[in-house]
Structure 1
Amino acid sequence: MRIKVGISSCLLGENVRFDGGHKHLRLCTDSLSRFFEFVPECPEVGIGMGIPRKPIRLVGDVQAPHAVAVHDYQLDYTAELTAFGQQKAREHKGLCGYIFMKDSPSCGLFRVKIYQKNGYPAAEPGRGIYADVLKKAHPLMPMEESGRLNDPLLRENFISRVFAYSDWQQLLNAGLTHHKLINFHTRYKYLLMAHSPVYYAELGRMLADAGNHDVEALGERYFSALMMVLSEIASRKTHTNVLMHIQGYLKKKLSSAEKQELADIIDRYRTAELPLIVPITLLKHHFNNYPDPYIAKQAYLQPYPDALSLRNTI
């Protein structure tokens, strides 16, 4: 089953923008659509604005801006966009991520211009009205915007979080137990370590006496911390640390030459000579020859389908 992900309609090539055009993001239609079931929304169209239409912009207080028509500030669409966002936040409970259109006064997630009385944008940017409502309603859901997905690290981080979010939702749907929670954490051990060794240790301590806590409450605290940790961008240093930990499971299996080759490949990744996919592929090769049940269930070795090729560029 493909994972349900919300998206700004224009990013799928739909002609819904104010000028009657689109902002087709081919990453979504050519690559991600194989694994994501996109749920498109255009809030301006959703509240009855036509195509084409007069553009809108954010104005006023940075903390509570208004969405108004550029040609007439008396035409205020804030309430309609807010209500539409609240409606969709209730309807879209099955979503595991959202991709927004950058810079949009309705859908922009980061650095949206908020204009002041002098006609210039405020020094502090804001967030689109619709995107802000959804973010507040689903604070743990992975959300990203189109422009930032051009960055290989941000793209990999977002997609990794979407798959983790979906994994957790499946666990909840099957019924959360203390045993399943511990198994989930065990599978995510090295992925968490790659994002933050410090917080990985804290999550381990959180579950140390899991049986003494209500599983639902503990699960909520754990998942909140999990998504916070995974939102951190993993570095070459932390990835190298994880690769070396996993390498240790092969030390009694490999020949001296094989161990030296693996150590060299990991070090060449550390010094940015090679992308992450190279040491990962070599580790998988060795574990195919020398299976280890603990390593086999680690999400780190395959947090998403290999076909996405996300580790080829980081």
Structure 2
Amino acid sequence: MGNEIKIGISSCVLGENVRFDSGHKISKFVTKELSPYFEFVPVCPEVGAGMSVPRPTIRLVSNEERIALVETKDPTQDHTEQMVSYSKQKVAQLQGEQLCGYVVCAKSPTCGMERVKVYKKAGAVNEGVGLYTQELMSSMPWLPIEEDGRLNDPILKENFITRVYTLNDFYTSMEGEPTRGKIVAFHSRYKLTLMAHHPESYKSLGSLVAHIGDYGMDEFYNLYREGLMKALAHRASRKNNTNVLMHLQGYFKRNLDKPQKQELRQTIDDYRVGLLPLLAPLTLIKHYLSAHPDSYIEQQAYLQPYPQELRLRYGL
């Protein structure tokens, strides 16, 4: 397995001319900033399901029991079955690709992740999920999925990239052959990350790992992977990050003199109240760590969740 991290993506977001009007919805962030790090696996469900380019526009309509995908101008042209069966087949194929994330096209009746327009008798409501993305989410509940537009938000972007790198690290650590020992070792490196993202999951996953003997390997692997990725989908709050930083500070108690302790405390506090970005206390902690090595802290993924060159923590 190379270090190419595979990410699924809506073809139009990559700049392919596959939209109904023969256009695309290229994301500069994806093509410029992410492409050096990831190998993209482009999918356009509409073209994949056999629709033409260009093609009539389609939309989701709700009639009592089911949500259907029909042509806007001629609702008798129903593409639901064809889309659902294509999505099932495509997603099953992608299961073998070991994807670590997926970027979908917002508001699309096939690819949208949330707030997709659904037309009802009384008018349209923004409460749908694209049919293809729906299948993706239910078949791979652990997979980090984000919409192209939302990746312009520094906090959502950082959270998505953290999840992608975590899942990739998880797969790499398993070396194609999950064992209880490998999962315990992985969990130990992600304790602070979990504490920052979702303290409740930190506790529940800790308890799951403690009772590892009660499960078959496959069941445990699936429970852990899903629990881990759902925990990280919670964004790390300033309050939780501050708790983790104070926890880290405790490891240096014996090694730092009074002014150093004071400086570290002050920097953490300045982050807590929003005067400094997260990078400031982390840089100081890494500096003290190089002077006073500690093997447990050095292996914590929290200190370096992804390549520094992505410059994602500047805005946090």
Task: Output the TM-score relative to the length of structure 1.
Answer: 0.94
1:99-120 CA deviation, whole Å, 9 max, x = no partner?
10000001001000000134x2
1:142-163 CA deviation, whole Å, 9 max, x = no partner?
1111122122221111111111
Task: Tell me, yes or no, if the aligned pair for 2:113 and 2:129 is still in contact at 8 Å.
Answer: yes
Which aligned pairs between 1:1-314 and structure 2 lie closer than 5 A?
Answer: 1-61=3-63, 64-93=66-95, 94-118=98-122, 120-122=123-125, 125-314=127-316
Unaligned runs of 5+ in 2: none
Amino acid at match of 1:121: A
Task: Tell me, yes or no, if the aligned pair for 1:2 and 1:34 is still in contact at 8 Å.
Answer: no
Specify the SS of the correspondent of 1:125: strand
Deviation at 1:311, TM superposition (A): 0.9
CA RMSD between the two structures: 1.6
In 2, Cα distance between equivalents of 1:19 and 1:214: 50
Amino acid at match of 2:57: P
Specify the SS of the correspondent of 1:232: coil
Amino acid at match of 1:240: T
Task: Output the TM-score relative to the length of structure 2.
Answer: 0.94
* Residues 271 and 43 (structure 1), Cα distance of their counterparts in 2 relative to 1, 3 Å cut: same
Which 10-residue stretch deviates more, 58-67 or 223-232? 58-67
In 2, Cα distance between equivalents of 1:245 and 1:105: 45
Amino acid at match of 1:303: P
Deviation at 1:7, TM superposition (A): 0.4
Q: Give percent identity, aligned residues only.
A: 47
Deviation at 1:212, TM superposition (A): 4.9
Which 10-residue stretch deviates more, 148-157 or 228-237? 148-157
In 2, Cα distance between equivalents of 1:53 and 1:127: 21
* Residues 265 and 286 (structure 1), Cα distance of their counterparts in 2 relative to 1, 3 Å cut: same
Specify the SS of the correspondent of 1:20: coil
Amino acid at match of 1:309: R
Unaligned runs of 5+ in 1: none
Task: Tell me, yes or no, if the aligned pair for 2:174 and 2:182 is still in contact at 8 Å.
Answer: no
Deviation at 1:268, TM superposition (A): 0.8
Runs of 4+ in 1 over 6 A off after TM superposition: none
Specify the SS of the correspondent of 1:174: coil
Specify the SS of the correspondent of 2:42: strand
Deviation at 1:223, TM superposition (A): 2.0
1:173-212 CA deviation, whole Å, 9 max, x = no partner?
4322222121111000000000122221222122224345
1:39-96 CA deviation, whole Å, 9 max, x = no partner?
1111111122222221111111487311111110011111121122112112112211
In 1, Cα distance between equivalents of 2:278 and 2:86: 42
Deviation at 1:279, TM superposition (A): 1.3
